[in-house]
Chain A
Amino acid sequence: EAQVTQNPRYLITVTGKKLTVTCSQNMNHEYMSWYRQDPGLGLRQIYYSMNVEVTDKGDVPEGYKVSRKEKRNFPLILESPSPNQTSLYFCASKLSRNTEAFFGQGTRLTVV
């Protein structure tokens, strides 16, 4: 089944403790992105990648890192999480520039 898989689905952590949210897609898609979704603000792009080793900032990149060493994987790294990064995170992938994006199931992160 074609899908985007994120792990973990739920995570509670403490301020400053480094964490990684994994994202994997099995559709051989070129493009991958990370979004955060907050009430009243909608989905906002954090980082995106157009291909292996090619990444760029989205609208809200501060406090986040990404890497794209393999085509299928695009992990999101929070080096020193803070409470304002408490949010619902989605990974997405798409085949090419103008095609539709497929989203993962989401990761609900709480930073205390």
Chain B
Amino acid sequence: EDQVTQSPEALRLQEGESSSLNCSYTVSGLRGLFWYRQDPGKGPEFLFTLYSAGEEKEKERLKATLTKKESFLHITAPKPEDSATYLCAASTGTASKLTFGTGTRLQVTL
């Protein structure tokens, strides 16, 4: 059974305090690893896709990396507007089904 585990469950940072979120996965036939951001009461919003180990993608203060067993979302000098729940999902199978982790709830304070 495909499994995606995210840690920590919740993270509180001060503005400017960099950190990393972890997503470990045990799946058969990874087609892609996706990161999403979800704000309260809204649908997940796409951030990154990573397809192979060693791949990195960057957008503003966020950088996603991928190894054969896990992915990291690095947040550099976060701002309060980065506060959200960050979800990762592994895509597998012929229809590329998404298996989601339960998310990391990030709060960035002034």
| A residues with CB within 8 A of B | 4, 31, 33, 35, 40-45, 48, 50, 56, 58, 90, 92, 94, 97-106
For B96, the chain A residues whose CB sits under 8 A away are 31, 94, 97-98
Q: By the criterion CB–CB under 8 Å, are B102 and A41 in contact?
A: yes
B interface residues, how many (CB within 8 angstroms)? 25
Interface majority SS on B: helix, strand, loop or mixed?
A: strand
Expressed in whole angstroms, the Cα–Cα distance for A80 and B34 within the complex equals 34
Q: Does B69 contact A (CB under 8 A)?
A: no
Expressed in whole angstroms, the Cα–Cα distance for A100 and B96 within the complex equals 10
Expressed in whole angstroms, the Cα–Cα distance for A40 and B43 within the complex equals 17
| B residues with CB within 8 A of A | 31-32, 34, 36, 41-46, 49, 51, 87, 89, 91, 94-103
Residue in B46, B95, B103 whose Cβ sees the most chain A Cβ within 10 Å: B95
| A58 CB → nearest B CB, Å | 7
Expressed in whole angstroms, the Cα–Cα distance for A17 and B101 within the complex equals 32
Q: By the criterion CB–CB under 8 Å, are B100 and A106 in contact?
A: no
A45 nearest CB neighbor, chain B only = B97
For B46, the chain A residues whose CB sits under 8 A away are 100-102
Q: By the criterion CB–CB under 8 Å, are B95 and A43 in contact?
A: no
| A27 CB → nearest B CB, Å | 13
Q: By the criterion CB–CB under 8 Å, are A104 and B87 in contact?
A: no
